Amino acid sequence: MSAIATGDLDSANERLLARDMIDVHGAQAAVVARDNARTAALAGQKPRARSWIRVLEIIQQRRTDAEPPIPGSTQG
């Protein structure tokens, strides 16, 4: 398996993990992902910390996409 295919697989797994975390933890999913990233970083597990940061970014993006626009704003 090439590095590109592995990256794509990791990305797909991270998206799936983010979705599952939102389903299980709801609004606290970002907090859980952030704590996991911090724990991995403090343990010296850089690849795992980076993966959790990517999951956190996906969770935050999904939350932003799901939030309704502010009434009276020029969004949309």
User: What pLDDT is attached to residue 10?
Assistant: 85
- pLDDT score at 63: 76
Give residue-wise pLDDT tens across range 9-36: 588 999 999 999 999 999 999 999 999 9
Task: State both tokens at 72.
Answer: 């009276």
pLDDT at res. 71:
60
Q: Contact at 8 Å (CB) between 33 and 22?
A: no
Q: DSSP secondary structure string, 37-49?
A: HHHHHHTT-HHHH
pTM for the model stands at 0.74
Q: In the chain, how long is the greatest CA-to-CA distance?
A: 51
**Other beta carbons less than 10 A from residue 72's beta carbon:** 6
Q: What is the pLDDT of residues 32-69, one digit of tens each?
A: 999 999 999 999 999 999 999 999 999 999 877 766 65
